[in-house]
Structure 1
Amino acid sequence: MLDRLTEYLDSIRARDPAPRTRWEILLYPGVLAVGLHRVAHWLYEAKLYFLARLVNHFSRFLTAIDIHPGAVIGKNLFIDHGFTVIGETAEIGDNVTIYQCVTLGGTNPTNGVGGKRHPTVRDNVIIGSGAQVIGPITLGARARIGANAVVTDEVPEGATMIGLKARSTLVPADQWLKEFIPYGTPCDEPCAPSRDCVEKLETELGALKAEIAQLKAALPAKAAPEKAPAARRSGAKRG
């Protein structure tokens, strides 16, 4: 038990440079919320639904993180800050990072049957601040969901999703996303279309510079001003 807790705290420390010690991480609301969810989920599976909900509401009161007791959560989930909602049929894999104000929400079934209506999040996924992931969709392993993105479609493995409605940046996973990216949002713009646009602009700029240089070379040199008339005028003044 102690080894598993140590491994969990170390996994958070690897993703967050702020804490100095493991003891400090124990005070994180996300750590407390995940710990209490383990208890609530155990009660939920034992069909002690009222007690499970009681633990859930107590956890939400303390942490501002609402994890339904029915949600299935893997190892080393790191919820950084609060105001996150995880629905009943959500499934979360190992080493997932979720930032503040994220919703793993469900669709409203028209037939009155609940069923699977919340997202499935595979291993090593990062979900940025304010992202809304809605419906029984799957976020592939190592996917990155950018801040404030709204995701309603399946996300391929290793893809980075940005915008409203979220779109993929189409960055190959073997060239990017090998390591942890805070908030699931690259600081640079790694999109291939953007690189192509920059290269095109640089080519056009080089051509314009060359054309300006040719025009300057074609201009006739200005003749030097004649000094004789000025000398004659100055002689006339002296006379």
Structure 2
Amino acid sequence: MFDRLIAYLDSVRARDPAPRSRWEILLYPGVLALGMHRVAHWLFEADLFFLARFVNHLSRWLTAIDIHPGANIGRNFFLDHGFTVIGETAEIGDNVTIYQCVTLGGTNPANGEGGKRHPTLKDNVIIGSGAQIIGPIVVGERARVGANAVVLDDVPDGATMIGLKARSTLVPAETWLREFIPYGTPCEEPCEPAPTERVQSLEAEVATLRDELSEMRKLLSTAPKRQSGTKR
């Protein structure tokens, strides 16, 4: 158990250059929230729902992080800073990183399958600060969700989602293969897909106007010239 704790603290340190020691990481609110969630989840699976919820409320009071006791969380989960909400049927894989003010929210159970109403994050996913991931969707392995993005549909493996509502950007293979991208956003890469739908529409209009202008010039060049009268 001690070895697993050391491995976890080292995994956090690999993703965050701020701490100077493992002891400092133990003071992180995300680490405390995860530890208390492990206890609450164990109580939840034992059908001790009141005690599980009590631990959950205590954790939220101490850390400003609300993780429902029913959520399933894998190994090496790093929750950087607080003010995050993770719903009951959320599933989080291994080596997932979530920054502050993120919501893994739910929808009406009728919209999910079998009561599943919160997102599933596969391994090595990174969620940027302020992102809202809503519904029983799947965020594929190594996907990144940029800051303040709103995701309502499934995310393919390796995609980077940005915007409101979030859309996928094409990420080069060398970026996709990188072990870790802070905040889920490849800052040295262009984030806006080019051209966007609006730009394409404007370009089509300009092309149409150019064709019409070209036709008008042809008509003017072939029309007979009117002879002007001469004064005596």
TM-score (norm 2): 0.80
Cα offsets for 1:14-60 (capped at 9, x unmatched): 00000000000000000000000000000000000000000000000
What is the letter of the counterpart of residue 48 of structure 2? L
Residue of structure 2 equivalent to 1:156? 156
What is the letter of the counterpart of residue 79 of structure 1? L
Deviation for aligned residue 1:170:
1.8
SS of the aligned residue for 1:154 comes to coil
Give the 3 Å change call, closer, same or farther, for CA 191–175 of structure 1 in structure 2.
Answer: farther
Deviation for aligned residue 1:182:
0.5
Give the 3 Å change call, closer, same or farther, for CA 3–170 of structure 1 in structure 2.
Answer: same
Rg: which structure is higher? 1
Cα offsets for 1:174-194 (capped at 9, x unmatched): 232222110001112346955
What is the letter of the counterpart of residue 2 of structure 1? F
Residue of structure 2 equivalent to 1:175? 174
Residue of structure 2 equivalent to 1:231? none
User: Is the 1:30–1:65 Cα contact (8 Å) retained in structure 2?
Assistant: yes
Residue of structure 1 equivalent to 2:57? 57
Matches within 5 A, 1:127-142: 127-142=127-142
Give the 3 Å change call, closer, same or farther, for CA 124–156 of structure 1 in structure 2.
Answer: same
Q: How far apart are the structure 1 equivalents of 2:121 and 2:105?
A: 12
SS of the aligned residue for 1:95 comes to coil
Q: How far apart are the structure 2 equivalents of 1:51 and 1:67?
A: 14
Residue of structure 2 equivalent to 1:202? none
What is the letter of the counterpart of residue 145 of structure 2? I
Q: How far apart are the structure 2 equivalents of 1:166 and 1:191?
A: 12
SS of the aligned residue for 2:109 comes to coil
Q: How far apart are the structure 2 equivalents of 1:18 and 1:191?
A: 26
Cα-Cα RMSD: 2.1
Query: 1:90 aligned to 2:90?
Result: yes
What is the letter of the counterpart of residue 56 of structure 1? N
Deviation for aligned residue 1:114:
7.4
Deviation for aligned residue 1:171:
1.7
Give the 3 Å change call, closer, same or farther, for CA 74–110 of structure 1 in structure 2.
Answer: closer
Residue of structure 2 equivalent to 1:34? 34
What is the letter of the counterpart of residue 19 of structure 1? P
Deviation for aligned residue 1:110:
4.9
SS of the aligned residue for 1:176 comes to helix
Residue of structure 2 equivalent to 1:76? 76
Deviation for aligned residue 1:118:
0.2
Deviation for aligned residue 1:96:
0.2
User: Is the 2:145–2:184 Cα contact (8 Å) retained in structure 1?
Assistant: yes
What is the letter of the counterpart of residue 139 of structure 1? V
- Structure 1 unaligned residues grouped into runs of 5+: 196-239
Give the 3 Å change call, closer, same or farther, for CA 22–193 of structure 1 in structure 2.
Answer: same
Give the 3 Å change call, closer, same or farther, for CA 56–194 of structure 1 in structure 2.
Answer: same
Residue of structure 2 equivalent to 1:18? 18
Deviation for aligned residue 1:119:
0.2
What is the letter of the counterpart of residue 55 of structure 2? V
Matches within 5 A, 1:198-213: none
What is the letter of the counterpart of residue 151 of structure 1? V
SS of the aligned residue for 1:175 comes to helix
User: Is the 1:171–1:192 Cα contact (8 Å) retained in structure 2?
Assistant: no
What is the letter of the counterpart of residue 28 of structure 1? Y
SS of the aligned residue for 2:12 comes to helix
Q: How far apart are the structure 2 equivalents of 1:122 and 1:80?
A: 18
User: Is the 2:109–2:116 Cα contact (8 Å) retained in structure 1?
Assistant: no
TM-score (norm 1): 0.78
